Amino acid sequence: MAGKTGAIAAFLLVIVLFVAAVLLWSETGQMAGKNVNATEECSDSAVIVIDPGHGGFDGGASASDGTAEKDINLQISMQLKKVMEEYPVKVIMTRQEDVALNPSEGNIRSMKRQDLQQRRRIIDEVQPDLAVSIHLNNYKADASVYGAQVFYPKGEQKRTDMERCEQTSKNFAEAVQKSLEINISDGRERTAMEKNDILIFENPTCPMILVECGFLSNQNELNKLKMAEYQRKLAYAIWEGIDEILCLEKGEKMKIIDSANR
C-alpha cells in the first residue's frame, strides 16, 4: 500500500513539474517575443525638426530652366509635415515660407553662415528625436547622374532612449535610404553616407540626417521633382524610413510649430 501511495505521489509530482515547466516556457516565450519586437516599444511620440534647405536670398542650386532648389525643398518639406501630422509627432519647421533665417547685413557668404547657424540653434534648443534637412543635388558635369542620397554626421555620439532601441543618425539615415530605394524604385541603389563638411552637422547634439532628394541637373528627375505627386511620394518614403526606427502608430495629432516665424 505504501508503495502504491509513493508511486501516486511521484506521478503527481511529475505532473506538477510538467505544468510548471509549460508555464515557465510560455512566459519565457512571451518575453522573448517582446525582445524580438522591442522596437515597437521604442516610442509613443516624437519631436522632429524639418529643415527645408536654403530660402529667401539663398536659392540654393538652380536647374537649367531656372527652377530654384529652395522652392522644391520647401514643397517636399511641407508634404513631409502633412505625413507626420497623421502620427503623434511634434513637428518644428525651421521655415514654412520663402525666407532666410534672420540674416543680418553683410556679404552673401556671411549671411549664409548666419542662416545655417540659426537653423542649428533651433535644432540644439529643441533637442528633437531627429532633425531632417531637405535638399536637392546638382551635378552639371554629368547630367545622367540621378537619385536620392542620405547623409549623416560623421563621428556622432550614440544616443539611446531605450535599451535595444538605438536612435542614431546612422540608423535613421540607413533606414531612410533603404525606404527611398524601395518606394521610389528608380533603379538607383545608394548607401547612406557620412558627411562632416557642412556646418549643420558640426558636433551634433541629437540624431540628424540630410536628404538630397534628387538631381536638378538630370532633366527626367527635375521633371518629377516639380510634380506634387512625386513630392508626396518622396515625403512618404522619407517618413517610412524614419518610422522604421521610431515605430509610431497613427494617432492624436500634435502641434506644428514654425520656429522661423515665432
167-190, pLDDT tens digit by residue? 899 999 999 999 999 999 777 789
Residue 89: predicted pLDDT: 97
What does DSSP assign to residue 155?
A: T
Q: How many helices (H) and strands (E) does the chain have?
A: 6, 9
Nearest-CA neighbor of 209 among 167, 181, 250, 249?
167
Nearest-CA neighbor of 234 among 191, 173, 182?
182
* CATH number 3.30.420.40 given to 38-261: no
Q: Across all residues in the chain, what is the average pLDDT?
A: 83
> Cα(33)–Cα(21) distance, rounded to whole angstroms?
18
Average pLDDT estimate for 102-129: 92
Show the cell assigned to 138.
546638382
Residue 250: predicted pLDDT: 86
Asked if 40 and 247 count as a contact pair (C-beta separation under 8 A), the reply is yes
Residue 37's pLDDT band, with cuts at 50, 70 and 90, is very low
Average pLDDT estimate for 233-250: 96
Residues 6+ apart with CB under 8 A from 201: 151, 152, 153, 154, 195, 208, 210
Domain chopping of the chain, boundaries = 38-261
Residue 39's pLDDT band, with cuts at 50, 70 and 90, is very low
Residue 44: predicted pLDDT: 87
Residue 35: predicted pLDDT: 32
